[in-house]
Amino acid sequence: MFDSANLDHRIDKATFQREERKLREELLHAQYDIKENGTFPVVILIAGVEGAGKGETVNLLNEWMDPRHIRTHAFPDLSDEERERPLMWRYWRALPPKGSIGIFFGAWHTEPIVLRVQGTISRRELGQYTGEIQRLEKMLIEEGVLLVKFWFHLSKDQQKKRLKALEKDPKTAWRVTDLEWKYFKRYDKFVKVCEPFLRETSTGEAPWIVVPGMDPHYRALTVGRHLLTAMRARLHPKAQKANRTAMPPVQPLLPPADRLNVLRALKLDRDMTRKSYARELDKWQGRLNLLTRDKRYKRLSVVTVFEGNDAAGKGGAIRRVTGALDARSYHNVSVAAPTQEERAQPYLWRFWRHIPRRGRITIFDRSWYGRVLVERVEKFCSEADWMRAYSEINDFEQQLADHNVVLVKFWLAISKQEQYKRFKARELVSFKRFKITEEDWRNRKKWDAYEIAVSEMVDRTSTAMAPWTLVEANNKYHARIKVLKTMVAAIESGLKRMDGKP
């Protein structure tokens, strides 16, 4: 893996200066072309051994290109904000929008490698991390991100020489601390861990580029030329086109042969009188409120998703939930068409940004499931896009669940007749008229297509860690109480799981 990098690569100063002049001009052009093109972002990963010139290279990239459109992110120890959310949250937060460049100085690769070198995790456990990273990078690439990964390498002798040289020079001596020498002692172990890791996370679309770090000229030219070639290749009209045709072909899904699905199996009419509703509401709102004041509650967070037919009563149900909560402890996110800022990011970005800290609740009124519902039915995205969304969503929710996020997902279901009744009623009541538009009537015509989409969504994303609850909602009272009860049960079992955990 490091055979070439261990060689004594050198570029003399004159050659470097001549090459550098051309290179920086071309890099700047490519950067502006990407900005103008505006269809993809560039993420540059900088990783590798200590003392191999990572920092110098990042500075150089910022010097060569227009730094106003580059954002460099280092990822030091986790902040409070970050610790209280899944690990990947910090990287999602840092993703550059389409048309711009993000330099990630250390990223999702760092932690697993460090943990393995320390011996905290086993080789097989590292394999689990590797799988997660492969899926994350696959998703980024499928979302159009140009991912360029540089691994800075020094042989053991070279690293020793570099550290000594840095130590000797008063201007750089501060950079060599005991920590650097501690790392040096682990050199062999480090390389032994990194080599298979690099191998398994190298793909045709995002190969690791191993950069020999000893000679500053050689190292700089290597990074610059690779980056330029990758950007140019991606700007090429052929690549731009290729990226839009999905491959390999997606396998079509079919509705059940007997047309029976989870929605049709529901008994939508459930009785509940106003009187018993009032009693139950009191009871379950009280229990919910009590739970959020449990000590253990501060160590988990809650994400609630409300999806459902138009006019199924999502808003009403949400109000009954928030009515039981301290206003400082929850956050309502109403999902509509994406903003310009959100359109410039991978699909899940706009949901990641709303993931709550510990001890808090986020309530999504419509959610990331839009991709496999409205976007699928209305053909706002390609079949390949919504098909891959199932596994991306499952990965996303797995990360939440792994981080003690209690996920509660509701589908509020009403019958086609009930919907008609409610639409008509809304048209009659002036203060509710804003709630019924032409679009609602149009959606209604696609009832069957939505039914199939919902049923497949439940089949492919209802999981033990994040189950869907289907709510029979022809009777609003019944629906609201079922929502509250389900939330209470989910949070209770979340709290129980916290027992004995730090």
7-26: contacts with a second copy (CB under 8 A): 7-11, 19
DSSP sequence for 109-161: THHHHHHHHTTSS-HHHHHHHHHHHHHHHHHHHHTT-EEEEEEEE--HHHHHH
Residue 111 binds a second copy (CB under 8 A): no
Angle (CA) 149-151-154 rounded to 5° is 165
Residue (93 or 460) nearer to a second copy, CB: 460
Minimum gap (Å) between residue 143 Cβ and a second copy: 10
**CA-wise closest residue to 472 among 304, 302, 264:** 264
Minimum gap (Å) between residue 226 Cβ and a second copy: 6
Subset of 231-290 contacting a second copy (CB under 8 A): 233-234, 238-239, 242-243, 245-254, 256-258, 260-262, 265
- The residue written with tokens 């709290």 in the block is 495
Measured distance CA(308)–CA(460) in Å, rounded? 17
Subset of 435-464 contacting a second copy (CB under 8 A): 455, 458-460, 462-464
Subset of 460-499 contacting a second copy (CB under 8 A): 460, 462-465, 468
* 423 close to 440: Cβ distance less than 8 angstroms: yes
Minimum gap (Å) between residue 460 Cβ and a second copy: 7
Subset of 115-134 contacting a second copy (CB under 8 A): 122, 124-125, 127-128, 130-131, 134
Residue (82 or 459) nearer to a second copy, CB: 459
Strands 70-74 vs 361-365: parallel, antiparallel or unpaired: unpaired
Residue 236 has, within 13 A of its CA and on its CB side, a CA count of 10
**One residue of 100, 158, 222, 367 binding a second copy per CB under 8 A:** 222
Residue (395 or 440) nearer to a second copy, CB: 395
Question: How deeply is 439 buried, as exposed, middle or buried, from its count of CB atoms within 10 A (0-12, 13-18, 19+)?
Answer: exposed
Is there a cis peptide before residue 248, judged by omega within 30 degrees of 0?
Answer: yes
Minimum gap (Å) between residue 440 Cβ and a second copy: 27
Residues 6 or more apart whose Cβ sits within 8 Å of residue 367:
305, 306, 307, 335, 351
Residue 28 binds a second copy (CB under 8 A): no
Subset of 353-392 contacting a second copy (CB under 8 A): 384, 387-388, 390-391
Minimum gap (Å) between residue 291 Cβ and a second copy: 26
Measured distance CA(169)–CA(304) in Å, rounded? 56
Minimum gap (Å) between residue 197 Cβ and a second copy: 11
Long-range contacts from 246-252, C-beta under 8 angstroms, 24+ separation: 246/382, 246/383, 246/384, 246/385, 250/383, 250/384, 250/387, 251/387, 252/383
Residue (8 or 282) nearer to a second copy, CB: 8
Q: What is the SS3 assignment for 501?
A: coil
Residue (194 or 311) nearer to a second copy, CB: 194
- Interface size with a second copy, residues (CB under 8 A): 83
Residue 56 has, within 13 A of its CA and on its CB side, a CA count of 17
**One residue of 56, 114, 156, 207 binding a second copy per CB under 8 A:** 207
Minimum gap (Å) between residue 250 Cβ and a second copy: 5
Contact range with a second copy by CB under 8 A, out of 155-163, 175-183, 197-205, 483-491: 197-205
Residue 4 binds a second copy (CB under 8 A): yes
Subset of 135-174 contacting a second copy (CB under 8 A): 141-142, 144, 148
Residue (413 or 436) nearer to a second copy, CB: 413
Residue (261 or 289) nearer to a second copy, CB: 261
**One residue of 94, 97, 187, 196 binding a second copy per CB under 8 A:** 196
- The residue written with tokens 């050199």 in the block is 187
**One residue of 37, 59, 229, 493 binding a second copy per CB under 8 A:** 229
